[in-house]
């Protein structure tokens, strides 16, 4: 039986490199890799060797005959990605629907090239090399892993918080236990004696950027996108309105949000946005607190959820269901995970309108939801094609939200709690060139650049480099590009050599919560 990728997929391509028969796609060399919602195993090529299972850092790959309840759909999802798909770009009268085109087309006369596996070589430099990395999230850990393949290199990380690993710890929902296991991989990286992680160390407060540049041959800025896109609706300043990012930090025990005022003594909540974060916060709000008790959820959040009055959470999308931003694995996890959810059938278009299999499957799942009885217990409701106009405020508290439908009609949604899940945004870094339009640090292939060209010894990776897109594993490819540029500059003599090698120390172990 072939193996199957499930909803825990982090997309870091470890399985791609491990597969001996090249049956997992898209690979990092294929155009779809950067935008794929997950990776897929070709059931016709898979030889059931299990190499991918060992390589996967989040336990997302399972033999198809061992899938647990709620995962069975992934057999069809994986198979459909390799089934013939319509090709509307080159119509053929003999095949007007283009049914011979494939999602990952393979010429029968040749095999697609295997994903390239790099074998680190000794650096063409003499003596030790010290690299500084600001941040300790996924992009930072993947960058450190690449750098530490070279015996001359030592790395010092500077982390503002009291625990490492960034969004892998503080951004993943507590009930997504398999996704959180990627921290085991980061623990392995952190155990390298050539890596030191300095916790509770903030650049600009405890150490300056200039000091870091003088201390290390190069510095990689991996500070992420720590702020939210602002909600600009009238009434957004009312009590009961906050960002989904803050709410996620609150229930994940992020030090910045432990004192967040969250009042759950309301019946109706609205989440503005349809991305994965929107589904996460909606799911946590309606999930049985007893199911969360054994997870790393913060104790203050669990206490509040036990006395919550929320009966319905509306996930509000400006556009139609076919444009919803949540990924297919997240929707499958919601639909088959025992969470009561509903949607109006009239708001879900015919799946055949979609030109790609992922969207078709999403629409089929939403139609399946629409056919179910409307739940009476606390539940999630999808509401598509509604543009928020303003928040209704009474005595300083939010009480509802006014929306406009495509036909021009207006609708009022009850809302005692409003969470804005409209995206993350990078924050300017003093001393580094920042692009306000994209919320990123300007760069070329990871080299930070200003008006005069590359800034010597300064590099960037992660969301602050490419914007808040992709998944945890996407940072691996992103960081590899940055490290490749850094090492090329090092070998070409374009980087200063550190005066004194940094001492090699082992990270003091911290609990994984």
Residue 116: DSSP 8-state: P
Q: What is the CATH number of the domain that holds 23?
A: 3.30.70.20
Q: pLDDT at position 509, please? A: 41
Identify whether the C-beta of residue 61 lies closer than 8 Å to the C-beta of residue 6.
Answer: yes
Q: pLDDT at position 121, please? A: 63
386 and 292, same structural domain? yes
* Structural domain for 260, as ranges: 230-410
Bridging pattern class, strands 379-383 and 341-343:
parallel
380 and 253, same structural domain? yes
Q: pLDDT at position 118, please? A: 57
Q: What is the CATH number of the domain that holds 169?
A: 3.40.50.720
95 and 222, same structural domain? no
| Upstream peptide bond of 306 is cis (omega within 30 degrees of 0) | no
| The two structure tokens encoding residue 222 | 């991996």
305 and 249, same structural domain? yes
> Side by side, which strands form the sheet with 195-198?
195-198, 153-158, 129-134, 218-221, 453-460, 447-450, 443-444
CA angle at 172 for the pair 223 and 30, rounded to the nearest 5°: 75
Cβ-count burial of 68 within 10 angstroms (0-12 exposed, 13-18 middle, 19+ buried)?
exposed
382 and 245, same structural domain? yes
242 and 358, same structural domain? yes
- CB hemisphere CA count around 117 (13 angstroms): 9
For the beta carbon of residue 494, count every other beta carbon within 10 angstroms. 14
Predicted confidence pLDDT, tens digits, the chain (513 residues): 578 998 778 888 889 888 888 889 888 888 778 778 889 898 888 888 888 988 898 888 988 888 887 788 888 888 888 876 555 444 444 433 333 344 555 444 444 555 655 555 678 888 899 999 999 999 999 999 999 999 999 999 999 999 999 999 999 999 998 889 899 999 999 999 999 999 999 999 999 999 999 999 999 999 988 888 889 999 999 999 999 999 999 999 999 999 999 999 999 999 999 999 999 999 999 999 999 999 999 999 999 999 999 999 999 999 999 999 999 999 999 988 889 999 999 999 999 999 888 999 999 999 999 999 999 999 999 999 999 999 999 999 999 999 999 999 999 999 999 999 998 888 899 999 999 999 999 999 999 999 999 999 999 999 999 998 888 888 898 999 999 999 999 999 999 876 444 545 545 444 334
| The two structure tokens encoding residue 389 | 């106009």
> Helix or strand or coil: residue 102?
strand
329 and 309, same structural domain? yes
Identify whether the C-beta of residue 429 lies closer than 8 Å to the C-beta of residue 441.
Answer: yes
Cα-Cα-Cα-Cα dihedral of 283, 57, 424, 286, to 10°? 10
172 and 91, same structural domain? no
Q: Which of 86, 102, 118 is the last residue of a domain?
A: 102
Is 418 a member of any domain? no
Which position has the token pair 């393979």? 106
Is 339 a member of any domain? yes
Identify whether the C-beta of residue 464 lies closer than 8 Å to the C-beta of residue 441.
Answer: yes
Measured over all CA atoms, what is the biggest interatomic distance in the chain, rounded to whole angstroms?
Answer: 71
Whole-structure pTM over 0.85, yes or no?
yes
Is 504 a member of any domain? no
Those residues with Cβ within 8 angstroms of residue 332's Cβ, 6 or more apart along the chain or in another chain: 7, 70, 73, 74, 77, 365
DSSP structure string for 398-426? EEEEEEE-TTS-EEEEE-SEEEE-S-EE-
For the beta carbon of residue 111, count every other beta carbon within 10 angstroms. 11
279 and 403, same structural domain? yes
Rounded to whole angstroms, how far apart are CA atoms 466 and 35? 13
Is 117 a member of any domain? no
Q: pLDDT at position 267, please? A: 97
Is 172 a member of any domain? yes
Rounded to whole angstroms, how far apart are CA atoms 481 and 29? 13
Is 9 a member of any domain? yes
Cβ-count burial of 215 within 10 angstroms (0-12 exposed, 13-18 middle, 19+ buried)?
middle
484 and 458, same structural domain? yes
Is 507 a member of any domain? no
Report residue 503 CA to chain centroid gap: 34
Total number of domains constituting the chain: 3
135 and 46, same structural domain? no
Q: Which of 84, 102, 120 is the last residue of a domain?
A: 102
182 and 250, same structural domain? no
Cβ-count burial of 128 within 10 angstroms (0-12 exposed, 13-18 middle, 19+ buried)?
middle
Nearest to 346 by CA among 328, 367, 326: 367
Q: Which of 386, 410, 434 is the last residue of a domain?
A: 410
Q: What is the CATH number of the domain that holds 268?
A: 3.50.50.60
DSSP structure string for 203-244? BTTTB-HHHHHHHSSEEEE-----EEPPP-STTTTSBTEEEH
> Helix or strand or coil: residue 74?
helix
Is 511 a member of any domain? no
């Amino acid at each position: 039986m072939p193996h199957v990728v499930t909803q825990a997929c982090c997309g870091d391509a470890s399985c791609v490199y491990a597969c001996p028969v090249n049956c997992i796609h898209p690979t990092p060399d294929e155009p779809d890799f950067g935008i794929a919602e997950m990776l897929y195993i070709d059931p016709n090529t898979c030889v059931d060797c299990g190499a991918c299972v060992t390589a996967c850092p989040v336990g997302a790959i399972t033999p198809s005959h061992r899938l647990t309840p709620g995962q069975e759909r992934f057999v069809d999802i994986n198979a459909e990605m390799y089934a013939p798909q319509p090709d509307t770009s080159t119509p053929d009268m003999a095949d007007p629907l283009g049914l011979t085109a494939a999602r990952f087309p393979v010429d029968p006369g040749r095999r697609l090239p295997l994903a390239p596996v790099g074998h680190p070589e000794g650096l063409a430099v003499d003596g030790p090399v010290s690299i500084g990395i600001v941040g300790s999230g996924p992009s930072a850990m993947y960058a450190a892993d690449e750098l530490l393949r070279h015996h001359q290199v030592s790395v010092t990380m500077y982390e503002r918080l009291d625990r490492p690993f960034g969004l892998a710890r503080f951004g993943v929902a507590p009930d997504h236990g398999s996704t959180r296991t990627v921290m085991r991989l980061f623990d392995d990286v952190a155990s390298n004696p050539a890596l030191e992680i300095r916790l509770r160390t903030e650049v600009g407060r405890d150490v300056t950027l200039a000091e870091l540049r003088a201390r290390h041959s190069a510095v990689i800025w991996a500070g992420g996108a720590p702020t939210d896109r602002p909600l600009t609706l009238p009434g957004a300043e009312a009590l009961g309105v906050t960002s989904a990012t803050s709410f996620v930090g609150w229930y994940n025990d992020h030090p910045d949000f432990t004192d967040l005022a969250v009042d759950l003594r309301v019946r109706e909540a609205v989440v503005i946005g349809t991305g994965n974060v929107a589904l996460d916060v909606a799911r946590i709000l309606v999930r049985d607190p007893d199911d969360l008790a054994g997870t790393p959820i913060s104790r203050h959040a669990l206490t509040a959820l036990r006395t919550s009055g929320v009966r319905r959470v509306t996930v509000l999308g400006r556009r139609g269901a076919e444009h919803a931003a949540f990924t297919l694995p997240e929707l499958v996890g919601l639909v088959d995970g025992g969470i009561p959810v509903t949607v109006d059938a009239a708001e879900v278009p015919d799946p055949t309108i979609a030109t790609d299999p992922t969207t078709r499957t999403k629409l089929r799942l939403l139609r399946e939801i629409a056919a179910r009885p409307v739940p009476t217990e606390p539940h999630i409701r999808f509401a598509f094609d509604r543009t928020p106009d303003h928040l209704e405020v009474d005595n300083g508290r939010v009480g509802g939200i006014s929306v406009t439908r495509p036909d021009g009609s207006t609708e009022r949604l009850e809302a005692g709690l409003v969470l804005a899940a409209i995206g993350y945004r990078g924050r300017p870094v003093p001393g580094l060139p920042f692009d306000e339009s994209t919320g990123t640090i300007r760069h070329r292939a990871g080299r930070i650049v200003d008006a005069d060209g590359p800034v010597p010894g300064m590099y960037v990776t992660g969301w602050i480099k490419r914007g808040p897109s992709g998944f945890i594993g996407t940072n691996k490819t992103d960081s590899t590009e940055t490290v490749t540029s850094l090492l090329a500059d090092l070998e070409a003599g374009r980087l200063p050599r550190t005066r004194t090698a940094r001492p090699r120390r082992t990270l003091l172990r911290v609990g994984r919560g």
